[in-house]
Amino acid sequence: MARVYEMAEIQLKGEAPAGSQVEVDVMAEITGGGRTLKRKGFYAGNQTYKVRFLPDKAGIYHYKVTGIVTGEGTVEVEPADGKHHGIVRADGTHLRHQDGTFISTFGTTVYALAHQPEELTEETFASLEGGAFNKIRMCVFPKHYEYNKNEPAYHAFARAEDAEQLIFYDNLGGERSVQPFDTHRPDFDFWETFEAKLSRLFEMGIQVDLILFHPYDRWGHSHMTQEDNLRYLDYVLRRLAAYPNIWWSMANEYDLFYDWKIEQWHEIEAYISMNDPYRHLLSNHNCFLEYDYGREAVTHVSVQTRILSRVAELQKEFGKPVCYDECCYEGNLKETWGSISAKEMVNRFWKVTVTGGYCTHGEVILENDIVTKKQQDDAVLWWAKGGKLKGDSPARIKFLREIVESLPAPLDPYPTGLGKMALMSGEELSGMINALSEGQRGFFSVLGRMNEKEKLYHFLSEYTYAGHIGEEVYFYYLGTDCSARFCPEAAEGKSYRAEVINAWDMTREVVSEDYQMGDEIRLPGREYVAVLLCAQHSSISPDDSSERVTNG
Amino acid sequence: MARVYEMAEIQLKGEAPAGSQVEVDVMAEITGGGRTLKRKGFYAGNQTYKVRFLPDKAGIYHYKVTGIVTGEGTVEVEPADGKHHGIVRADGTHLRHQDGTFISTFGTTVYALAHQPEELTEETFASLEGGAFNKIRMCVFPKHYEYNKNEPAYHAFARAEDAEQLIFYDNLGGERSVQPFDTHRPDFDFWETFEAKLSRLFEMGIQVDLILFHPYDRWGHSHMTQEDNLRYLDYVLRRLAAYPNIWWSMANEYDLFYDWKIEQWHEIEAYISMNDPYRHLLSNHNCFLEYDYGREAVTHVSVQTRILSRVAELQKEFGKPVCYDECCYEGNLKETWGSISAKEMVNRFWKVTVTGGYCTHGEVILENDIVTKKQQDDAVLWWAKGGKLKGDSPARIKFLREIVESLPAPLDPYPTGLGKMALMSGEELSGMINALSEGQRGFFSVLGRMNEKEKLYHFLSEYTYAGHIGEEVYFYYLGTDCSARFCPEAAEGKSYRAEVINAWDMTREVVSEDYQMGDEIRLPGREYVAVLLCAQHSSISPDDSSERVTNG
């Protein structure tokens, strides 16, 4: 039995492949829901072949498998259960499931989740049940980094037996000599354990931004030949593409693959987009050098940056959803990327979220009693291994998520003040300035004369964080500004319910049932305040296709 | 009786000038301290002419005045009292008094101090006695702006009687029609009141960054002819140049004089530098467009910016002291420039100060019971009118000042991490990268490949705030980073006393008497922490010329 928006699977028994256990000739023709599809199968070990597909319509599906195993049969697909909504795809700068429901993602990071023992993984899942997050960033391959030195129980592939040693510098500068991986021979134990985690995450309504390559490596997975890279992807796509909750992240910090040429990434990008029959979201995450999100196959921005004011800029440049997939982690490490306060983590989420972007959390809290090198290597930090969430930001992120999910549609950026001008071309700026009255023109013409560096400095540091949903909703986040009075813009002549929100204390107070543009709202004069204006008679009537997912 | 480093004055009686009361032919030849100087005199009203000078050596000074008044005599100049140290001048990127003592300035802003009534001014002085600040930014001309609409008791000059009306838009967009000023006729009541304030500030050991022009004007002082501007400066220089505690700030927000050409500022700059016999510090303060601090007559950077990481960059570019003369104000106004928290004000002071720059405070706290337009116009906000300091930052700024003044010399920036690379030219960067071992080179070569925008984004947001005094002192400020462990750089093989400082709680704790490079220091894992390392056997032996002013 299968269900719409859930992975369906056909299993066949047959002899283990004689040669490659990846490039197996197994193809299913699947007819149902008014269409006929072709899907490649994969070898799952133990004389078992599987073909998976993801139905988006209910009904009886007939399949016929040909190749080194053959078979025929039917799968009955029941209607969706209402809990799952299908693959997430970009719709302009927003994200929607296959059934049309919008999703605003609230991400977290557990890079090495795939390689942690069961007990710890259960703790991680229990933490995720808390509901702050509906997206997780995790890697296929194990991770070698500070606080992450554990040897994985399994690798994705067996080691090649007769190959020359692979010699390379690991990411911490150590010289390594290993047997290369044999990408013709998946380690089925690994893949089964891995899939169990993917399925649990699916059940919890959590999107998986699956990191296919990363440079934090002492085992050689970042030093495979491109032929091996693509064969690995072949197996991933055959095996995992029917998971509805997967996004493809080509890499974490792709630019730290020092010896890779950019063309290698382009080839990987092309391979995935041509071989993924479901067009899952696809992007590539940077450390220093941002990937070109304008490329056709790239579906969204997946940026690492600490400049929180770039959602509108990136949306304008690329016309795609903007995910802040790394903006530092709540924690107490030596490193600047791992020592922002919970308040700052929450602050960053709000800035990105109210401007219509999607932010990702991480936590690196190292206990004080950890002293020795060994203790450090074995430490359990959420961002790599999961476990218990110790920080104070997740509760606040959940609070924000609930507010956003109560809105009738996704937010778009609402640039005002200098931020608005930052988005204008030179011509647009001159046009705006010339249209002003003589009394106002002087001031703005000075702004127009700033050089690029001055512009960047000013626009970065004087940005107003705001979003809107047409004229129905305006959402302002004041960040660390302590204004005690505020006159938010809204649509002229419309009446709004005005709410003052404290992002840190998690309080909401309706301060006016009839706020109109030009009115002044009194604020507490403290940090972390937001103002939400909702039109009193909303003209956006949610229909089936724009209904929000209010819980994963 | 006069004293070294204090203004000396010669008074002569004579008929009031027949024509211009500014361009009077009065010249003194003053011989003493081994030199003969010429100083112009000025008419002070009431049939009195004055010639002022600032002796830097004790002894008997003979003067001979010629021109429309004449006279001869002697002034006895006693040695300095040890409280005053003479004019402040730039020494590389540091500031030193005439007697060689270094000064680190901690500024505040009371723009319209010159135009406030006596009672309020006394309150302001009482607030300044608190000791957080040793520099104040204030204007000669009155200020027209929100919360500052009061009519001044006096103007610097009388109105011209028979001139055509001057018509202009004031800075808030209102059309104005006024009698122009007659810059031949100073209002002596204004200048006397004004000087009384300068003298009080001098007695308190407070430097006055005197703003000669500003655009916040409904009276016409920002719309005078250039001839009138220079005549006004003629009077200012004759009358005030012998004040030891004056710095010339050509303007506040010079770039908001929309109809002025840059050449007009250059002419003003040249006029001041050629006619000021004392070479007081001279700069020009921006709103959006930074002035060219590289110009020869400009003695220091006097910048408005919210990007706190620029001290080293600006020092490198101009080789001059860097004053952050505006970085927003502690307060609760609607405006982003007037709504930073006390914590953020303190945070900004620390960032600028530990990196070897000089920061300026301001406060704009509007009481909640202020409602009407009239109440707002009459409100007393420190940044314009003075009064009582209500904010929480001054006590912390005083705490920082005391620490800095206890150091043996001024701090220089100590760029580390990405901030160090931001200061390198493309060539320097390649050189550094090529000198690295193969294992390290990859990471840094990625950094070298960032485009200008990426560089700016990264260097701005990952800056490490640190300063040093040779190998004797290293001072790290972690800002909002919550690192619980820290391995600060210091000189290899030297022993340091290590202190952990909380900038907000104003606590200091010695955590090691023998910190050595490579050791790990435990920190509280909270925001606003600094670490001060002082070499155990300081090799900097303060001599007379580098002794610090420990209180104004």
* C-alpha–C-alpha distance, residues A28 and A23, integer Å: 15
Residue A445 pLDDT > 90: no
If one compares B448 and B304, the residue with the highest pLDDT of the two is: B304
Tell me the CB-side half-sphere exposure of residue A39, using CA atoms within 13 A: 29
* Structural contact between residues B85 and B549, judged by C-beta atoms closer than 8 angstroms: yes
Residue of B307, B438, B454 with shortest CB distance to A169: B438
Measured distance CA(A347)–CA(A478) in Å, rounded: 9
Size of interface A-B (CB pairs under 8 A): 152
Q: Show residues of chain B in contact with A145, CB under 8 Å.
A: none
Q: Which residue in B has a C-alpha nearest to residue A451's C-alpha?
A: B289
- A417 contact residues in B (CB cutoff 8 A): 336
Q: What is the mean pLDDT of the segment spanning B229-249? A: 98
Partner-chain contact B258 A443, CB within 8 Å: yes
Residue with tokens 């009534």: B117
In this structure, are residues B497 and B472 in contact, taking their beta carbons and an 8 Å threshold?
no
Both structure tokens of B258:
């929309």
Note the pLDDT of residue B1: 75
- pLDDT (tens digit, 9 = 90+) per residue, A264-322? 999 999 999 999 999 999 999 999 999 999 999 999 999 999 999 999 999 999 999 99
Residue A137 confidence (pLDDT): 98
Q: State which amino acid sits at residue B153.
A: A
| DSSP annotation string for B275-324 | H-TT---EE---SSS---TTSTT--SEEEE-S-TT-HHHHHHHH-S-EEE
Q: Is the pLDDT of residue B542 over 70?
A: no
Q: How far is A423 from chain B (nearest CA, A)?
A: 15
Q: How far apart are CA A284 and CA A265, in angstroms?
A: 9
Q: What angle do CA A206, A210, A214 make, to 5 degrees?
A: 145
Burial category of B452 from C-beta neighbours within 10 Å (exposed 0-12, middle 13-18, buried 19 and up): exposed
Percent of chain A with pLDDT strictly greater than 70: 97
CA trace torsion A479, A480, A481, A487 (10° rounding): 20
Nearest chain B Cα distance for residue A512, angstroms: 18
Residue in A549, A325, A360, A413 with CA at minimum distance from that of residue A92? A413
> In sequence order, which residues have a C-beta less than 8 Å from that of residue A428 and are 6 or more positions away?
none
Instruction: Give the ranges where A85-174 is alpha helix by DSSP (H).
Output: 118-128
Q: Do A288 and B258 touch (CB under 8 A)?
A: no
For the stretch B86-105, pLDDT in tens is 999 999 999 999 999 999 99
pLDDT at A188: 98
Query: What pLDDT does residue A242 have?
Result: 98
Instruction: Determine whether the interchain pair A288/B450 forms a contact, defined as Cβ–Cβ distance below 8 Å.
Output: yes
The pLDDT, as a whole number, for residue B450 is 86
Query: With contacts defined as CB-CB under 8 Å, which chain B residues touch A464?
Result: 336
Task: Give the pLDDT confidence of B339-348 residue by residue, as tens digits.
Answer: 999 999 999 9
CATH number for region B464-552: 2.60.40
Taking CA atoms, what residue in A is nearest to B464? A336
Which residues from chain A sit within 8 angstroms of residue B439, using beta carbons?
169, 173-175
- Closest-CA residue in chain A for B309? A457
Contact (CB<8Å) B256/A442: yes
A520 pLDDT more than 80: yes
Question: Going by C-beta distance under 8 Å and a sequence separation of 6 or more, which residues neighbour residue B485?
Answer: A332, A333, A334, A366, B520, B521, B522, B523
Residue A500: helix, strand or coil by DSSP? Answer: strand
Contact B480 A340 (CB under 8 A): yes
DSSP notation for B98-147: TTS-B---EEEE-TTGGGS-HHHHHHHHHHHTTSS-SEEEEESS---BTT
Q: So what's the pLDDT on residue B549? A: 41
Share of chain A above pLDDT 90, in %: 85
Backbone φ and ψ for A240, nearest 5 degrees, come out as -110, -10
Q: Spell out which residues of chain A touch residue B288, defining contact as CB-CB under 8 Å.
A: 446-447, 449-450, 454, 458
In chain A, what residues touch B258 (CB-CB under 8 Å)? 441-443, 445-446
Class of domain A413-546: mainly beta
| Residues of B with Cβ-Cβ distance to A381 under 8 angstroms | none
Put simply, the answer to whether B442 touches A258 (Cβ < 8 Å) is: yes
For A215, nearest residue in chain B (alpha carbons): B443
CB contact under 8 A, B483 and A305: no
- Give the model confidence (pLDDT) of A407-422 as tens digits: 999 999 999 888 888 8
Which of A335, A440, A454 faces B173 most closely, judged by CB atoms?
A440
Contact B480 A442 (CB under 8 A): no
The set of residues, in sequence order, having a beta carbon less than 8 Å from that of B344 and lying 6+ positions away, is A480, B328, B330
**Separation CA A310–CA A316 (nearest Å):** 10
Picking from B288, B339, B438, the nearest residue to A481 by CB comes out as B339
Q: Which of A175, A307, A341 sits opposite B480 (nearest CB)?
A: A341
Any idea what DSSP says for residue A151? P
CB contact under 8 A, A438 and B169: yes
By DSSP bridging, strand A48-53 and strand A35-43 are antiparallel
pLDDT of residue A519: 96
Are β-strands A181-186 and A157-159 bridged in parallel, bridged antiparallel, or unpaired?
antiparallel
Residue of B nearest to A464 (CA): B336
**pTM for this entry:** 0.94
How many degrees, rounded to 5, is the angle at CA A15 between CA A12 and CA A196?
Answer: 50
pLDDT of A153-185, one tens digit each?
A: 999 999 998 899 999 999 988 899 999 999 999
Give the model's pLDDT for residue A426: 82
Under a CB-based contact definition with an 8 Å cutoff, are residues B521 and B489 in contact?
Answer: no
Nearest CB partner across the interface for A443, out of B256, B478, B486? B256
Question: What is the pLDDT, as a whole number, of residue B448?
Answer: 82
Residue A446, pLDDT above cutoff 90: no
To probe the interface with B, which of A172, A485, A504 has the most B CB atoms within 10 Å? A485
DSSP conformation class of A15: P
Q: Do B417 and A453 touch (CB under 8 A)?
A: no
pLDDT of residue A544: 40
Query: B461 falls in which pLDDT band (50, 70, 90)?
Result: confident
Give the mutation candidate from A171, A259, A262, A443 for the B interface (greatest B CB count, under 10 A).
A443
CATH number (3.20.20.80, 3.40.50.300, 3.90.1150.10, 3.40.50.20) of B102-151+188-391 reads 3.20.20.80
Residue A466 pLDDT > 90: yes
**pLDDT tens-digit readout, B159-174:** 999 899 999 999 988 9
Measure the CA–CA gap between B28 and B40, rounded to whole angstroms. Answer: 6
Residues paired with residue A364 on neighbouring β-strands, in sequence order:
A331
Q: Cβ A438–B334 below 8 Å, yes or no?
A: no
> How many percent of chain B have pLDDT more than 90?
85
For A88-392, the fitting CATH number among 3.40.140.10, 3.40.50.300, 3.20.20.80, 3.40.50.720 is: 3.20.20.80
Closest Cβ–Cβ partner in A366, A439, A526 for B173: A439
Q: pLDDT at residue B24 above 80?
A: yes
Residues of A in contact with B292 (CB under 8 A): none
- β-sheet bridge partners, residue A359: A106, A324
Radius of gyration of chain B (CA): 25
pLDDT(B552) > 60: no
Q: Would you say the CATH fold of A88-392 matches that of A2-78?
A: no
CA distance, residue B355 to nearest chain A CA (Å): 18
Positive or negative torsion for Cα A532, A538, A542, A546: negative
Instruction: Specify the pLDDT at position A458.
Output: 83
Å from B334 to nearest chain A CA? 5
Q: How far is A462 from chain B (nearest CA, A)?
A: 7
What is the pLDDT of chain B when averaged over all its residues? 94
CATH T-level assignment (fold) for domain A2-78: Immunoglobulin-like (2.60.40)
Is the CB of A442 less than 8 angstroms away from the CB of B258?
yes
CA distance B531 to B511: 10
Given an 8 Å threshold on Cβ–Cβ distance, is B288 in contact with A525? no
Round to whole Å and give the CA distance between A302 and A252: 10
Contact B483 A450 (CB under 8 A): no
Q: Quickly state the pLDDT bin for A475 (edges 50, 70, 90).
A: very high
Q: For residue A380, is pLDDT > 90?
A: yes
Does the distance separating the beta carbons of B287 and A446 come in below 8 Å? yes
| Model pLDDT for residues A451-462, shown as the tens digit of each residue | 888 888 887 788
- Choose from A145, A333, A336 for mutation: most chain B CBs within 10 A: A336
Selected residue with higher pLDDT from A425 and B212: B212
Per-residue model confidence (pLDDT) at position B425: 83
Is B123 a residue whose pLDDT tops 70? yes
Tokens of B156: 């610097």
ipTM: 0.93
Give yes or no for residue B397 having a pLDDT over 70. Answer: yes
Q: Which of B336, B443, B486 sits opposite A256 (nearest CB)?
A: B443
pLDDT at A86 over 90: yes
Query: Does residue A227 register a pLDDT over 90?
Result: yes
pLDDT in tens, A5-55: 999 999 999 999 999 999 999 999 999 999 999 999 999 999 999 999 999
Instruction: Sort out which chain B residues have CB atoms less than 8 A from A336's CB and list them.
Output: 417, 462, 464, 481
Q: Which residues of A touch B339 (CB under 8 A)?
A: 478, 481-483
Q: What is the pLDDT of residue B102?
A: 97
- Do the Cβ atoms of B503 and B475 come closer than 8 Å? no
Residue boundaries of the structural domains of chain A: 2-78, 88-392, 413-546
Coil, strand or helix at A25: coil
* Alpha-carbon distance B532 to nearest alpha carbon in chain A (angstroms): 17
pLDDT (tens digit per residue) in A120-147: 999 999 999 989 999 999 999 999 999 9
- What integer pLDDT is reported at residue A545 of this predicted model? 41
First to last CA, chain B: 22
